[in-house]
Amino acid sequence: MKAIKRVLISVFDKSGIIELAKILKSEFKVEILSTETTGALLEKNGIKYTKISEFTDSPEMFDGRIKTLHPKIEGGILYRRGLQKDIDDANKYDIKPIDMVVCNLYQFKEAIEKPGIALDDALEMIDIGGPTMIRAAAKNFPDVIVVPSPDYYGEIIDELRKNKGAITEKTRILLAQEVFSIMADYNAAIANYLQKYYNPEALLPKTIIKVYEKVQDCRYGENWDQTAAYYKDSFAKHGLHNLRQISGKEISFNNYLDIDSCMQILLDFGTEHYTTAILKHTSPNGVAIDKKDQLSSVKKAFSTDPLSAFGGIWGINKELTKDIADFIVNKEKIFVEVLMAPSYEDDALQILKQKKNMIIIEYQDFLDKRNDIYKSLEIRSVLGGVLIQQYDSKSVIKEWNVVSKKKVNNIEKEALIFAYKVSKWAKSNSACFAQIYDNGIYSIGIGAGQQSRVHVVKLAIQKAIEFGHKDELKDSFMGTDSFFPFPDGLEVTVEAGAKAIINPGGSIRDDAVIKRANELGCALVFCGKRVFRH
């Protein structure tokens, strides 16, 4: 390891740079080169440096667009110290070695987030000299140390002190790799911005460039012998990385999938009423809304299917209170895998933390960000590639078309929309029976993941009966995620006691289904939107 003798410092984010520069200068007697703007800050703090323009004998040009693009800079970074041919060229052209490059880039992503930023202003935030220097230093990492972020200053200082002014090869390699990751993200941001600027209507353009950053390792993958981690989209401002784990065990791959599904259900129901959603394997097994009380919605959602609620993911949309915590932990003694709420009463947390392994998550104002969250695209991996689509974030009701002779009133309409929303989040084929109670609506039977529509209806009925909701099936409301291809699904629904059904319509046999609904005295609504979930 060779001690550093000359460093080039040119940073946009100047946090921490004074401390680093002082240590380089005072402790290790390093010569500092710097651009005019960064140099002015160094000079203000009593740190002597050499201007790049003096080092190269070439002035900054074009309003600062050219500062470091010069053979004495790029050559000083790139020439291989152990290669005689490069040494000869360096001597011939008076190229002095630059041993460390401390540089971070113009903040392009932050700039384009400003409302109404002009194209000319965005273009000026595309860094040229910075990327050239850090890429050159990263390429020549055996001879040059690149420090691309203030995040590494502390580590660099510690290592310089430990190694008498030198940096280990391991650190050089790690920082070089970080540079190319930074550049991938930076270039992707520019490409995506220009693509969107010149063709804003192209939802699915020819290329989509994504960069993902690891947030944390998972406890395990979908199964115990699979390794997994959660990565965030570096361009996504809002996502699961905004959620805060308060306590509990490490989150697993399957936990993340369930957390995602639960959050999306809560996003669909919003904050108008008190909502509780309980899931297992990404499908809801109990959902309830209450207009007056959160605990009532919790109890009703739990009553749908108490068996499946064991080890489930529970989400509520209002502050979790002491009485809810007491219901879960002390009264019902329910094993909850993940519990999610925007906030928690202190007394509630004291009760919940008795369950050491329960994953407790606080998501704060996440539900208020629905429009921003769904600006992203949904990406799902397949062998050798990905499938990309818009999120299914539009209203579940495209049109309200009561096609039967029997009509529905406003509260019945609300119950049908509730049932259809729940069926949207159950795996296809799906069906949800819902019932009205004093201050709200709740699911009484949910079927999911069946290959035929008649069988998923039968499953939902079977579960409703098994968990004590047989009587509540009378005059209930059923939603199913696509049309009835035959009248048999409708017949089974009405036989169980339902008074109204909602589906999108669109079957070539719709007329036969409508005719059968009229014969059985059942209200039938076509909403014009399918809500499959695979």
Contact status, residue 319 vs residue 342, Cβ threshold 8 Å: yes
For the chain, what percentages of helix, strand and coil (3-state, to nearest 5) are there? 40, 20, 35
- Cα–Cα distance, 170 to 310 (Å, whole number): 47
How does pLDDT run across 353-362, given as a tens digit for each residue? 999 999 999 9
At residue 194, the pLDDT reads: 93
- Cα–Cα distance, 39 to 61 (Å, whole number): 17
- Cα–Cα distance, 166 to 218 (Å, whole number): 36
Q: What percent of the chain has pLDDT over 90?
A: 94
Alpha carbon of residue 533 to chain centroid: 19
Q: For residue 370, with 0-12 CB atoms within 10 Å meaning exposed, 13-18 middle and 19 or more buried, which class applies?
A: middle
Q: Could you please state the CATH topology (level 3) that the domain comprising 6-198 is classified under.
A: Rossmann fold (3.40.50)
At residue 200, the pLDDT reads: 86
Q: What pairs with residue 8 in β-bridges?
A: 33, 101
Instruction: Produce one character per residue of 117-135: b if its CB has 16 or more CB atoms within 10 Å, e if not.
Output: eeeeebeebbbebbbbbbb
- Cα–Cα distance, 524 to 254 (Å, whole number): 37
Phi, psi (5° rounding) for residue 391?
A: -65, 150
At residue 434, the pLDDT reads: 98
- Does 379 have pLDDT greater than 90? yes
Contact status, residue 327 vs residue 295, Cβ threshold 8 Å: yes
- Cα–Cα distance, 439 to 423 (Å, whole number): 21
- Cα–Cα distance, 363 to 170 (Å, whole number): 38
Contacts of 333 (CB under 8 A, 6+ apart): none
Q: What is the mean pLDDT of residues 231-238?
A: 92
Q: Which residues are catalytic?
A: 139, 281
Closest CA to 527 of 409, 412, 420: 420
- Does 18 have pLDDT greater than 90? yes
- Does 203 have pLDDT greater than 90? no
Three-state SS for 123?
Answer: helix
- Domain borders along the chain are 6-198, 242-386, 401-526
Q: What is the mean pLDDT of residues 56-76?
A: 90
Q: Where are the alpha helices (DSSP H) in 327-406?
A: 346-352, 370-373
How does pLDDT run across 414-470, given as a tens digit for each residue? 999 999 999 999 999 999 999 999 999 999 999 999 999 999 999 999 999 999 999
Q: Could you please state the CATH topology (level 3) that the domain comprising 401-526 is classified under.
A: Cytidine Deaminase; domain 2 (3.40.140)
Q: Is the pTM of this model over 0.85?
A: yes
At 2, the pLDDT band (50, 70, 90 cuts) reads confident
How does pLDDT run across 106-127, given as a tens digit for each residue? 999 999 999 989 999 999 999 9
Number of other CB atoms surrounding residue 6 within 10 Å: 16
User: What single letter denotes the amino acid at residue 113?
Assistant: E
Contact status, residue 450 vs residue 456, Cβ threshold 8 Å: yes
At residue 314, the pLDDT reads: 98
Q: What is the mean pLDDT of residues 28-50?
A: 95
Closest CA to 501 of 411, 410, 415, 426: 415
Same topology between domain 6-198 and domain 242-386: no
At 66, the pLDDT band (50, 70, 90 cuts) reads confident
At 144, the pLDDT band (50, 70, 90 cuts) reads very high
DSSP 344: B
Positive/negative CA dihedral, 148, 150, 152, 154: positive
At residue 63, the pLDDT reads: 83
- Does 1 have pLDDT greater than 80? no
Was domain 242-386 assigned CATH 3.30.70.3270? no
- Does 284 have pLDDT greater than 80? yes
DSSP 250: P
- Does 393 have pLDDT greater than 80? yes
Q: What is the mean pLDDT of residues 374-398?
A: 94
